[in-house]
Structure 1
Amino acid sequence: MNFRDHLLVALNVLSDVREFHIHVLVSAPAKDNSLYPYSFPRPRIYSQDILVLLSEQANPDAPRVLVSAIEARLYHVPSTDCAILYVSKVDSTGQGLRPSPTATLVKAFIRWHTDPKSRPVATRHLWVQLFARAQGQYLFPNSSDHPGKRPLSDARLCAWWRQVLGQVGEDAREALGVDAIEGQVDAYYVLPGHNELEAQQVMGGRFPPHSSSTVAVQWVYGHPYSQTRIPLPCPRPEGLQNLGHCIPSFEDDPKNRFMDEIAFTDTPVSPRKRARTDPPQEGDGPQSREGAKEREKKEARPKGELGKVGPDEFWERMSFRQECVAGAVTGFFALGVSVPEHRMPSPRPPPLAPQPGQVPRAMNRRILSSLLTGVEFSTPERAHKATELIEGAVRGLCEGLAQQLPAPKPMNQSADATPDSLAPPLPKTPPRRTVGLPAVDDISPNPFDEPEATLETYRAFIFGSVTVSNPPPPLPSDAGSGTASEGAAPEGKAKVHVLTARKKKKKRPDA
């Protein structure tokens, strides 16, 4: 079963009668040295872009409409036998039937990567990491204007991610079975600016396990960068403390700008010197080797205060950052899964070799750019048109018809939008400090050619559909007291009893 079919099987359990159409774009592995820019030496890392688009059709005569989307990146670090799945964005349009398929899609998406049998990279250890920040829209421009979309509040979004990752972690522990002693499943979360008790109260109190207590995941309130139970992706040099080996730099992550400030504190920024290209002279032997060693020691020295600030202090100071104290609750989540060696395939495939069904990275970026800047989802009519354009663009690129891509428009502007109806720009972390950063494009070329997206690839791995026909969910016993975000019960289906308190008469004092 490939990735696309795995997601469709998971969606088949949803209630009601409808048809789902999915597009799964996974780019081929490419060398990537942007994850740990302050580590020395920087480890060999390979990354893949992942984009999942899910559309829904209420009946065969109804038009399709995009309802959910996931953007993520998968990193592979062979030196530590680790991988990182960074879920950067999850969004919905609110224009499908209830219940929404987003939670089911996200769980199936992460389960595919935590299971060593289906994990696309052959590594023993996997970290799932994400930054939860509530916004009205992320991947579907102007979708917050649609009245059917009810975005979660900041606290409820953090609670939602804790429940999703907790259930995936319990499934991973249950799958380990007798290997649970050798394997490991750990979960961590931090709500900057809150202690553990405050975080639990903000998110709604206790979270009961989804399964038996023997496989329940024990959440740790804190960060995973000081533990030794599951190896961290970036190897640490012995005898040298460098925060750059602990904290990864993900795209659109508020930790990046703080890392830059720590790295460039009391560190003069100088332009990058070009490598010496002159041929060695007669007296350059021992002296040049000594000079090379000195330069290597200087480069290995942590920049700024990266050698003084530890992970605990970093997260304590992170609570005072603007991104975390702006009035909204934000959360950092990490789920680590480690499996025994005998569960890994042998021999392992080369990390850079393209696998069947993968597409060029440029294709992922073009579709994502068109989704963010070329269409909008404020009304059902515009959402139907946007769905047709994006889905047609994916098929068109597989057929070599690049002209089917919608032309980007500035600031999420639709074809008939007026300046008064423009939505604010999609949320994004302010750009990081790039002056003095190590070059991220200074890598050797990929020995493998980019895969070619063909119509056969489209039919076998990218596009798929499933027809769901299950009974609707039963109405809850307290359906009459539902809130606007939970959905109110139909009129006449439940009685609401209002209890009133009787006021006690006061006795008149004697005259």
Structure 2
Amino acid sequence: MAPRPSLHQFLNQALQLVPTNEANPRTFELLTLATKPFRTFTLFPHALNPTVSIMRTDYLITLAEKFEDYRPKDDTISTPTPEVTVPVFALEASLYTISTTAVQLLYISKIDTTGLAPLPAPSGQLTIAFLSYFLQHMPKSIQSLRIHIFARASREGQYLFPASAENAPNGTGDGAKFASKIITSAGGDWGATFPYKTPTGKRILDDQQLVKWWHKVLSQLALGYHQASKTIKNPLECFYILPGLDHEESLEVLPLTPELKALWNYGHPYHKIRSPCTSAHQDQSQQPSKIGSSDRSQSCLLSELIPAFDDDPKARFLHSIGNCSTNASGEPGDWDDAIGQRSSSSLESDRNRERIKINNVSSDEFWDRMGGRQECCDGRWWACSSRVVE
């Protein structure tokens, strides 16, 4: 059996598939950063057992591409034409590991581009490769991997690259002028030199376009996973939901082909999966359930079903339901901060009070009410997607 590649090696292999030309190959610079695993209390702050150890690893992936320097040079000096390294893509993610229940949760928090990469841009391919790595190389000790995506366009048109929104076509930033300059440096005939298209500047997607982009990327991920893993015991199940819309209404925003209709489940996954805080061998009957309901989601507590990620509308809604004394996950004063700032007795008293309020809401009711939140009903679309390997 071949040794497990590192994440950096795996992503570099994926970049080899980006269209290029032997005479004028595209040259990428990939940077892969990861923190050491550290303990966090913000993912399920109101779990019944707050001592369950949840370890978090943060990732930052950045990609740059090299071009000939388009700036004027001194022709009297015979030196090779220098290159400039231009950032084109970045991804930010967090991996949460709950070893006692053999569950991992992977959350993509931000993706951004500068709009300066030639087309086809490597952003989709690199995103698929990043997610594929964790699907294909799950640790033996892990039984379940759950991938969470929250798709909503930034009002500023930028997430990780400051001022990159100015690189849009006809924008005011220096990046908007970059494409014409590198065409000139290539002799004015980009198509004759390169097998790909001129960078046209940053294309800022609106909500519906971003939801479609994510849905396309995740569909390609799932189809590729199923084709490569036909004999795998743990299939990949895909769920998506546009809060405030039923299935038929969602198809007007996000039409699906018959193949994709068979691939995706509309709605949340909590009817089918156990709580990440509960091992597969624990007796679920010990948890409270509503009379007459055979729904798994009704036998699990909301405080142990819905993860609270950083800058996450779900986390803010849970915070509102519980009328919580701490701030939402990822904000100053959240549970990670409160653990070191407040007494354990004060925290536990607040935790119990807030847990009762949160667990009076079922998972179905939670998602129904999400559609009425200001973040969902201000004329903008956004989607939550989950992929589950159990």
Whether these two folds match at TM > 0.5 is: yes
Residues 1:227 and 1:41: Cα distance change in structure 2 (over 3 Å): same
TM-superposition CA deviations, 1:392-435 (whole Å, max 9, x none) = xxxxxxxxxxxxxxxxxxxxxxxxxxxxxxxxxxxxxxxxxxxx
RMSD value over aligned CA atoms?
2.7
Change (3 A) 1:100 1:299: closer
Residue 42 of structure 2: aligned partner:
34
Distance 1:55-1:249 versus aligned 2 partners, 3 A rule: same
Deviation at 1:310, TM superposition (A): 0.2
Deviation for aligned residue 1:126:
0.5
Show the counterpart of 2:187: none
Q: Which runs of 4+ in 1 moved over 4 A?
A: 271-276, 295-302
Query: How many pairs were matched up?
Result: 304
The residue aligned with 2:239 is 188
1:225 aligned to which of 246, 260, 270: 270
Deviation for aligned residue 1:226: 2.2
CA drift of 1:175 comes to 3.3
Where do 5+ consecutive residues of structure 1 fail to align?
A: 211-215, 277-294, 339-511
- What secondary structure sits across from 1:250 in the alignment? coil
d(CA) in 1 for partners of 2:35, 2:29: 20
Structure 1 pair 261–297 and aligned structure 2 pair: CA distance change class (3 A) = closer
Change (3 A) 1:304 1:296: closer
Q: For residues 355-434 of structure 1, what are the structure 2 equivalents within 5 Å?
A: none
In the TM superposition, what is the alpha-carbon distance from 1:18 to its structure 2 partner? 1.2
Distance 1:264 1:310 in 2: 17
The one-letter code matched in structure 1 to 2:149 is L
> Which residue among 212, 216, 225 is the counterpart of 1:163?
216
Q: Tell me the residue number matched to 1:312.
A: 364
Which secondary structure does the structure 2 equivalent of 1:79 belong to? coil
Stretches of structure 2 lacking an aligned partner (at least 5 in a row):
69-80, 170-200, 279-283, 289-299, 326-340
| Residue of structure 1 equivalent to 2:227 | 174
Tell me if structure 1 keeps the 8 A contact 2:63–2:88: yes
SS of equivalent to 2:26: strand
The answer to whether the Cα contact below 8 Å between 1:187 and 1:336 also exists between their aligned partners in 2 is yes
Larger RCO: 1 or 2 (CA < 8 Å, sep 6+)? 1
User: How far apart are residue 304 of structure 1 and its match?
Assistant: 4.4
C-alpha distance in structure 1 between counterparts of 2:251 and 2:125, whole Å: 24
Match of residue 12 from structure 1: 16
Distance (whole Å) between structure 2 residues aligned to residue 168 and residue 328 of structure 1? 26
Q: 1:54-453, aligned counterparts within 5 Å?
A: 54-59=63-68, 61-115=82-136, 118-119=137-138, 122-135=141-154, 136-146=157-167, 147=169, 148-179=201-232, 182-203=233-254, 205-207=255-257, 209=259, 218-228=263-273, 231-235=274-278, 238-240=286-288, 242-264=301-323, 273=343, 303-338=355-390
In 2: Cα distance, 1:252 partner to 1:222 partner: 22
Contact map agreement 1:76 1:121 (CA 8 A) in 2: no
Contact 1:45 1:76 in 2 (8 A): yes
Q: Is the 8 A contact 1:127 1:337 kept in 2?
A: yes
Counterpart AA for 1:160: W
Shift of residue 301, structure 1, vs aligned partner: 7.0
- C-alpha displacement at 1:274, in angstroms? 5.4
Q: 1:274, 1:130 → 2: CA distance?
A: 33
Task: Report percent identity of matched pairs.
Answer: 34
Kept after mapping to 2: 8 A contact 1:46/1:75: yes
Distance 2:343 2:126 in 1: 48
Mark the structure with the bigger radius of gyration.
1
